[in-house]
Structure 1
Amino acid sequence: MTIRKDLQLIADLVPANARVLDVGCGDGELLDYLVNERGIDGRGIELSQKGVNECVSRGLFVVQGDADNDLEEYPDQSFDLVILSRTLQAVHRPREVLLDLLRIGRQAIVTIPNFAQWKVRADLLFRGRMPVTKSMPQTWYNTDNIHFCTILDLFDLAESEGLKVRSFVPHMRNGRRLDMGPKLANLMAEQALFLLEK
């Protein structure tokens, strides 16, 4: 089974025999791969009923829930790893959600679209409009994105909360890794993956 290359970057960081919670698991593509190809003990939480139905049809254990409100129901340290892929920018309380991830799990993998990437900056500068790119294809009025986070912003939040960045993988939408530090990645990368722990 093959999965999207950006999801493979996440899967590559999941240790064997880990107990995993995938928050905002969508149609279950990553969770299905982890459970059925890697033998991971995986669970999911998804906001949309359509996504939950797709996950259940794949035989996955997924419940309908909202990252902003339902993570508090999970006990402390009940998972080894919690995944939040391309969802942090769409929640109402990103700081609290991030802290909940690391309360529920020993580690968290968080991926974000990078709103400081040069194409996004250029689109805003030269067109004077909110950017629409291949990695962010929705217009301002129909996007789920409500917090426009950059790579450096997430580093700042992690530092202010005393969180450790154990791994940082800047990459393009197609999953191609970029070998560069945070400042240059903030300009060049379309997305970034963070492995965080307290």
Structure 2
Amino acid sequence: MKILNKIPVLRILSRYWREITRPAPLQEFEDYETYWQMRVQEQRTAKEMDRYRLIAGALPINSSVLDVGCGEGSFLRYLSRNRPDCNGHGADISSTALERLAASGIRTTQINPRKRLVEQFTEDWDVVVLMEVIEHVVDAEDLVRQVIELAPRRIFITIPNAGFLLHRLRLMFGGRFPITTIIYHMREHIRFWTVKDFEQWAAVLGMHIHNCQAQVDKPDRLIRWLSNWCPALFAAQVVYELSPNVQA
């Protein structure tokens, strides 16, 4: 078995088969606040991810960055270390998540879901980030329209790719619905997009896609090459750089 694990293709196939056949996660939690309390307690907070590097590298110099749905703020902490010229601000509905970020000296605001974002964030923002957020929201259209109302120069949206090869194989051979970066329970994600679906969706909302890149956190060189070659099929998560059409 150790010998087989040294062969990249066999190692990847073995990992894929485990993902295709494993049961869906169904560990229930009460609400989003409880969700973050569980993650913090279990130390299941985000590590440095490829999408942080991709977004940070694309930011204009001296950008003001609003991270909507920032969670415990791992991206903004990465940004403060690697792009100190940028001014980051975290926004989330979870006080538990924001407490961790505020302890790092980064500005935070707890979102009131009963008010529109433009009522709560009156500054001018060069960039707004929605990182692994819209798949959790019933009315993702309204959330993105609220972001557009803030009039940023650029919007970065990252999402799981429902068209990822592993998800197709899990449905075909495993007879199971895809597990799209879900941590505790399948109800975490209630909206799904493939790359083609997102392109259509963004156009309907009046957004122009400047760039679509694969997020590749696995060390395998073959996976990285395939993901960058064809994100629609081989990328588990994708990073979009967009702007409202009037600014394209």
Q: Please, what TM-score do these two structures have when normalized by structure 1?
A: 0.84
Asked if residue 168 in structure 1 is aligned to residue 217 in structure 2, the reply is no
Is 1:106 equivalent to 2:150 in the alignment? no
C-alpha deviation, 1:28, in angstroms: 1.1
Shift in alpha-carbon separation, 1:42–1:95, aligned structure 2, 3 A: same
CA displacement 1:33-88 (0-9 Å, x = unmatched): 22344221111101222211100111111112266854242467820000011111
Tell me which protein shows more helix as a share of its residues: 2
Residue in structure 2 matched with residue 22 of structure 1 by the alignment:
67
The equivalences for 1:75-90 within 5 A come to 78-90=124-136
Give the match for residue 151 of structure 1.
195
CA offset digits 1:97-156 (Å, max 9, x no partner): 1222222112100000011111111112222222336x445442xx42110122211111
The DSSP-based 3-state class of the residue aligned with 1:115 is coil
The one-letter amino acid paired with 1:96 is: D
Which segments of 5 or more consecutive residues in structure 2 lack a partner in the other structure? 1-46
Q: Which moved more, 1:8-17 or 1:74-83?
A: 74-83
Cross-structure match for 1:189: 235
What is the CA–CA distance in structure 1 between the aligned matches of 2:168 and 2:115, rounded to whole Å? Answer: 33
Q: Which residue of 2 aligns with 1:61?
A: 107
Q: Decide which of 50, 53, 59 is 2:96's aligned counterpart.
A: 50
Distance 1:171 1:33, change over 3 A: closer
User: Which residue, out of 159, 170, 174, partners 1:123?
Assistant: 170
- Aligned amino acid, residue 152 of structure 1: K
3-state DSSP of counterpart to 1:79: coil
Q: CA RMSD in A?
A: 2.5
Q: Is the 8 A contact 2:92 2:111 kept in 1?
A: yes
What runs of 5+ residues in structure 1 fail to find an aligned partner?
Answer: none
Identical-pair percentage: 27
1: distance between equivalents of 2:205 and 2:174? 36
Match of 2:140 among 78, 84, 94: 94
Letter in 2 for 1:32: R
Cα 1:13–1:145 shift into 2, 3 Å: same
Larger radius of gyration: 2
Structure 2 residue 83 is the aligned partner of structure 1 residue 38: yes
Q: 1:132 aligns with which of 173, 179, 184?
A: 179
